[in-house]
Amino acid sequence: MTKPIAPARAKPSHKVPKPEAGYHHGELQEALIAASEAILAEHGAEGFTLREAARRAGVSPAAPSHHFGNAQGLLTEVAIRGYAALADALREAASRKQDAREKLLAQGLAYVEFALKHPGRFQMMFANKRLVADDPRLGQASRAAGREFEIIIAELVGGTPRQAKTAAAAAWSTVHGFAKLALEDKFGSVNSEAGYREIMARLNHVLNYLWPASSARR
Amino acid sequence: MTKPIAPARAKPSHKVPKPEAGYHHGELQEALIAASEAILAEHGAEGFTLREAARRAGVSPAAPSHHFGNAQGLLTEVAIRGYAALADALREAASRKQDAREKLLAQGLAYVEFALKHPGRFQMMFANKRLVADDPRLGQASRAAGREFEIIIAELVGGTPRQAKTAAAAAWSTVHGFAKLALEDKFGSVNSEAGYREIMARLNHVLNYLWPASSARR
DNA sequence: CCCTCAATCTGAACAGTGTCAAGTTACGCA
DNA sequence: TGCGTAACTTGACACTGTTCAGATTGAGGG
């Protein structure tokens, strides 16, 4: 070691009038979250390390505990934002279609696309043991994403609330299971562009098979 | 330290004519696999530790590497057996029914039941990054389990092989997604007997909804 | 201006992990 | 009896997450 550790964090000694000045201020949270998301994107859910996140944010390994308590706390924050992003993607996909069934199909494709394009984040969102599972904000974010499905389902099948709930659970299970199996390479490798396209084509067949065009089917 | 480590392993010094005698012989593999399965059952997939498995088998932490290379190797062996057990459960469930559709429903219930009753093992089976993902025996065991679905599907829908493959992927996705979501508490707690029954009832509704009684639906 | 105070972050430590190289033990066989 | 080899241990290394005492910082009040 030529130098002890070399924090490498830019330390603006001259004052800047507005915020953004020295120390980490309230920005360390954001920096840690961003670092965590980068790690998840690069190395997947199993590759996450609290120390590495701290390293990327330019702080000591003990710093995160002050803001998030522990690693689970930080990951919970990441998961909450992940659910928000997922809900956005589902809403956005549905908004592009007119027909209710096409909205649902678009949501199914968007769900799997989200999982395949952000595998680390997606896996972490559903790794309850690595999160603060009873954080109310986490449950809320998760349910908000699920509600995007229920909205379209209600529009599509009508029926009693119980039927809608069953249909929503069915839809969610299908796309979630497909995404999980695809991520574990059960449908072939997902790492090539060709493989990705093939898997999405397969998903299309599956969704059309399970949700046939005959709209209302009691 | 009063005693160095106290291996606690019964060391039969008198010879037994046949195998089963002193040392660990070929039994350490089995002991390690059994220990690993016990850990998975007690503490889930995240609770597994190679050192703890070695501890339970009464050997040093480095011993497993001689038989399995590394932790992934040991877990791969566990996963392979898990897939075999899953295939057995699926075959057994189908064998109890006459009608093809009832066979499929029974398999779906059996799949989720397997996941909920052995969560640690199930999660590990689908944690590719913790296994030797390219072990041919693992892929073979996984495909053998999937084939149990395909057999019944072919009996049910007939059609081209491509249609059968789509239908099998659809069925597998549905039950796998439901199981995964249930294990992450998305359908309520699974830890009580009441919660378990409620979830299985919900599964029944979902499967009847997605696989309606009208047999052939192109 | 200075002084206190709380928030923020560091440094060092601890227990625990997987893996490796080298040494030791026990077995089977000649 | 001796010997080679497989099975296992020992000790070490580089990591990990978390804790705790203390240093540093920025802000607010006198």
Is the confidence at residue A200, as pLDDT, over 60? yes
pLDDT at A22: 46
Judged by average pLDDT, the poorest of A61-70, A101-110, B53-62, B160-169 is B160-169
A17-21, A103-107, B138-142: the lowest-pLDDT one: A17-21
Cα dist. B164→B149, B155, B159 in Å? 10, 9, 7
Q: Note whether B212 contacts A210, CB cutoff 8 Å.
A: no
pLDDT at B161: 84
**What per-residue confidence (pLDDT) applies to A118?**
98
- Asked if strand C contacts B49 at the CB level, meaning under 7 A, the answer is yes
| Cα–Cα distance for residue pair B111/B90, rounded to 1 Å | 7
CA of B25 to C1' of D6 (A): 10
One-letter amino acid at A126 equals: F
- Identify the band that residue B12 occupies on the pLDDT scale cut at 50, 70 and 90: very low
Q: Is the dihedral of CA B3, B4, B8, B10 positive or negative?
A: negative
Scanning the structure block, which residue is given the tokens 């791969």? B76
Which of residues 30 through 49 in chain B touch A, CB cutoff 8 A?
44, 46
Asked whether the beta carbons of residue B46 and residue A202 sit closer than 8 angstroms, the reply is no
> Please, which residues bridge with residue B188 across strands?
B186
**Long-range CB pairs of B156-159, under 8 A, 24+ apart, other chains included:** B156/B100, B156/B101, B156/B103, B156/B104, B156/B215, B157/B216, B158/B216, B159/B218
Would you say residue A98 has pLDDT above 80?
A: yes
Residue A13: strand, helix, or coil:
coil
Mean pLDDT calculated for residue range A3-16: 32
Summarised one tens digit per residue, pLDDT across range A24-54 is: 666 899 999 999 999 999 999 999 999 999 9
Q: Which residue has the higher pLDDT, A97 or B6?
A: A97
Examine the pLDDT at A87 and tell me if it is beyond 90.
yes
Query: What distance in Å separates the CA atoms of residue A20 and residue A115, rounded to the nearest whole number?
Result: 34
Q: Are B81 and A165 in contact (CB under 8 A)?
A: no
pLDDT of residue A24: 67
Q: Over range B177-203, report the average pLDDT.
A: 96
Q: What are phi and psi of B173, to 5 degrees?
A: -60, -45
Query: Of A11-20, A185-194, B116-125, which gets the smallest average pLDDT?
Result: A11-20
A170 and B CB contact within 8 Å: yes
The pLDDT value recorded for residue B33 is 98
The answer for A159, left when phi > 0, alpha when psi is -120 to 50, beta otherwise, is: left
Task: Note the helical H segments in A96-217.
Answer: 100-117, 119-125, 136-157, 161-183, 193-210
Domains of chain B are 24-69 (1.10.10.60), 85-126+133-210 (1.10.357.10)
Q: What is the pLDDT of residue B17?
A: 32
d(CA B77, CA B132): 9
Identify the pLDDT of residue B25: 63
Query: Is residue B171's pLDDT more than 50?
Result: yes
Using CB atoms, pick whichever of B126, B128, B167 lies closest to residue A209: B167
The reported pLDDT for the residue numbered B23 is 54
Are residues A111 and A90 in contact, defined by beta-carbon separation less than 8 angstroms?
Answer: yes
Q: On chain D, which bases lie within 7 A of the protein's CB atoms?
A: 7-12, 15-21, 25-26
The answer to whether the C-beta of B84 is closer than 7 A to strand D is: no
Task: Return the percentage of chain A with pLDDT > 70, whole number.
Answer: 86
Test B184 with A126 for CB contact under 8 angstroms.
yes
Minimum mean pLDDT range among A21-30, B119-128, B153-162, B182-191: A21-30
Q: Is the pLDDT of residue B73 over 60?
A: yes
A163 touches strand D (CB under 7 A): no
* Cα-based torsion angle of the residue sequence B44, B46, B51, B53 in order, rounded to the nearest 10 degrees: 20
Query: Taking the C1' atom of C12, which residue's CA lies nearest?
Result: A62
Interval B98-109 mean pLDDT: 97
Which chain C positions have some atom within 7 A of a protein CB? 8-13, 16-22, 26-28
* A126 closest CA partner among B127, B52, B28: B127
* B146 to A44: CB separation less than 8 angstroms, yes or no: no
Q: Which of B32, B178, B199, B39 is nearest to B118 (CA)?
A: B39
| A47 vs A161, more confident | A47
Nearest CA in chain A to B45: A129
| Cα–Cα distance, A170 to A210 (Å, whole number) | 10
Establish if A133 touches chain B: CB-CB under 8 angstroms. yes
- pLDDT value of position A25: 65
pLDDT band per the 50, 70, 90 thresholds, residue B67: very high
Token duo for residue B6: 């106290």
Long-range contacts of the stretch A209-215 (C-beta < 8 A, 24+): A209/B166, A209/B167, A209/B170, A210/A174, A210/B170, A210/B174, A210/B210, A211/A101, A211/A104, A211/A105, A211/A171, A212/B217, A213/A101, A215/A100, A215/A101, A215/A156
